[in-house]
Structure 1
Amino acid sequence: MSLPRKVLLVGGSGFVGTAIAERLTRDGVGLVVPTRRLANARHLRVLPGAEVVEADVFDPTVLARLMDGVDAVVSLVGVLHSRPGSPWGPAFARAHVELPTKLVAAARAAGVARIVHVSALGADPAGPSEYQRSKAAGEAAIRAGSPDVAWTILRPSVIFGPGDSFLNLFAGLVRRFPLMPLGGAGTRFQPVYVGDVAEAVAESLARADAVGQTYDLAGPQVYTLRQLVEYVGRLTGCPRPVIPLPEALAMLQAAALECLPGPLMSRDNVRSMRVDNIAGGPPQPWGRTPTALEAVAPCYLGKVNKRGRLDAAQLRRD
């Protein structure tokens, strides 16, 4: 099995999608990247073999047209926030459940026999949050494509790298506020480098033994959320006291933040942090060596200098 000639990259204009697009085009893979607005993906137009098209991927007629001439699909669309609902909120239903279902139906109808779906570590039909349960339902929709559509599911932990919305979020907060009241401070995470996610997608497309498999994607080290926030504070030169919040107070904080445009936190996010976000086995498939957080984060959150290296060493000891 080898890399496909042309891939439909759904959700390709964002942080993770950009890394995947750059990785695939390095190997000569042609891309079709749909986007709601061309301006959102103008940075991808410079990639050789990348075709950026303005399209509504939720429209089955449009999806059918996008499938024409492609050999595989990479599915990346995900959202962190939604109004609550049963069994999950409308934004979760649309992005995490309905879209994968439509992608599989369109691929089957067009004879596109390969899909790699990027889900999330912690996806669980019995998970405590709507996010986790809807992600699991999306995975079930992808698996239902068998045998016509050969699938691989990747479950990354929180993803870091230049332009991320995880470490950069905390970097912005520690620069603005004198202390950090933090819900889920003891929740454990195993952050994965965006470049490793891109490599795993490419390898999944190329490997016959990846078909029908679900893989965790994580980094080499486990940290509590508190350790990560403290590390970001040291790295940016803005160390702040972290005040762990019990869940009841974290829920109140999240309820207030939900009232803001583009909320930083939601009550559903707090529920997600009832379970650790760590790999259940090897951090990455096929014996891959994951990239350390400390090898990358100082390059975009602080100066790569002696202080950054000392802070990285301190984080490993914490």
Structure 2
Amino acid sequence: MKRVLVLGGTGFVGRHVCEHLVRRGCGVTVLTRRATHARAVQHLPGLTVMEGDVHDETTLRRLLPGHDAVVHLVAILHGSNAAFERAHVALPRALARACLASEVRRVIHVSALGADPATATSAPSRYLRSKSQGEAVLRDAAQTTGGTGLQLTVLRPSVIFGSDDRFLNLFATLQRVFPVVPLAGAEARFQPVWVEDVAEAVTRCLFDAGTVDQTYELCGPTVLSLRELVRLAGRSAGVQRPVIGLPALLGRLQAMVMECAPGEPLMSRDNLDSMQVPNVSTGRFPTLNALGITPASPLAIVPGYLGPSDRLQVLRARGPGAKHR
């Protein structure tokens, strides 16, 4: 039985990853600052919740022995330069040192589509620059001479959707409240990927030594603009409203106002900067199909969780002859 340490296991993607790992017979450890954050996964058989600071290298070194692999999912979408540096660069650096010191070499790193170490200083947003730098840190640790470096697999998903996402659910909620949706970045392009496909990709990589030193782009089969995604959310929820694309200047003003609102912003100027890079497959790396996964389309999945429950829609998304997971 593989024993896997999951960093970010209480988040949206992490919860699904934990479920898939447990179904494959893995023992899973989830590190979280407060055990109450892990209520959604603590019932899973073979899963252990440990309290601690994921950013503390001493804690990582203490927990790693006895594990066979680490799945790194920690990420933020908003924040200052210092916050992005801490989450996306300093943490991978601490993790790499802790793994090498503990001789736990297998690491699955969930990055982001658009990240690339070659653009670590030139990418248009703080998010993409820091994600790129974090990848570079782990790749350096994987290239240690003598075969003693990390055994690294990098997964770069497009925007991730699922029944408990904060993306399409949010747009559906907004359309239940407001008569129109003014939208910055309306023509930005995405290739949304189902969270279940991402979780399955993580699991298959852990059990396939051939994925070491590989980078995979995790994308769905359908390219959609942000405007089309908002319309899909509204249509699926039965409350579709007119979507008004904002000119660049007004869109930036909207994002700036949202940044000043209490709580996590719905959109930030850095998000708009990230959207300058199309969030679609580049064709330069293997995809979900290379892992034996037929990606599901949001056109089939989203109505099943935003509208009336219809399990058949989920099954249809897998295509003819696809296996039920």
Report if TM-score (shorter chain) is over 0.5. Answer: yes
Residue deviations 1:148-203, cap 9 Å, x none? 21100000000011110111111111111111111111111100000100111011
Aligned to 1:19: 16
- Cα pair 1:117 1:154 within 8 Å, conserved: yes
CA distance in 2, matches of 1:100, 1:295: 35
Secondary structure of residue in 1 paired with 2:245: strand
2:258 alignment partner AA:
L
Unaligned runs of 5+ in 1: 84-88, 313-318
CA distance in 2, matches of 1:272, 1:247: 14
2:208 alignment partner AA:
R
Aligned to 2:107: 115
Task: Give the C-alpha shift of residue 288 in structure 1.
Answer: 2.6
2:129 alignment partner AA:
R
* Aligned ranges 1:1-318 → 2 under 5 Å: 5-83=2-80, 89-124=81-116, 125=120, 126-146=122-142, 147=144, 148-261=149-262, 262-281=264-283, 283-284=287-288, 285-304=290-309
2:232 alignment partner AA:
Y
Residue deviations 1:235-281, cap 9 Å, x none? 11111111111221111001100011211111101111112100112
- Cα pair 2:4 2:26 within 8 Å, conserved: yes
Task: Give the C-alpha shift of residue 48 in structure 1.
Answer: 1.0
CA distance in 1, matches of 2:239, 2:293: 34
- Cα pair 2:153 2:212 within 8 Å, conserved: yes
CA distance in 2, matches of 1:218, 1:239: 25
With 197-206 and 285-294 compared, the bigger mean Cα shift is at 285-294
Counting matched residue pairs gives 300
Give % identity.
53
CA distance in 1, matches of 2:133, 2:277: 18
Task: Give the C-alpha shift of residue 283 in structure 1.
Answer: 4.3
1:136 alignment partner AA:
S
Aligned to 2:322: none
CA distance in 1, matches of 2:5, 2:151: 15
- Cα pair 2:153 2:211 within 8 Å, conserved: yes
Residue deviations 1:193-248, cap 9 Å, x none? 00100111011111121111111000011001111111111111111111111221
- Cα pair 1:283 1:290 within 8 Å, conserved: no
- Cα pair 1:220 1:283 within 8 Å, conserved: no
CA distance in 2, matches of 1:66, 1:171: 40
Quickly say closer, same or farther: Cα 1:8–1:280, change in 2 above 3 A.
same
Task: Give the C-alpha shift of residue 287 in structure 1.
Answer: 4.7
Alignment RMSD? 1.6
Residue deviations 1:4-23, cap 9 Å, x none? 61011000011100100000
CA distance in 2, matches of 1:304, 1:5: 35
Task: Give the C-alpha shift of residue 45 in structure 1.
Answer: 1.5
Unaligned runs of 5+ in 2: 318-325
Moved over 6 A (4+): none
CA distance in 1, matches of 2:126, 2:73: 18
Residue deviations 1:76-100, cap 9 Å, x none? 00000012xxxxx111101100101
CA distance in 2, matches of 1:304, 1:60: 44
Q: TM-score, normalised by structure 1?
A: 0.91
CA distance in 1, matches of 2:22, 2:287: 26
1:114 alignment partner AA:
R
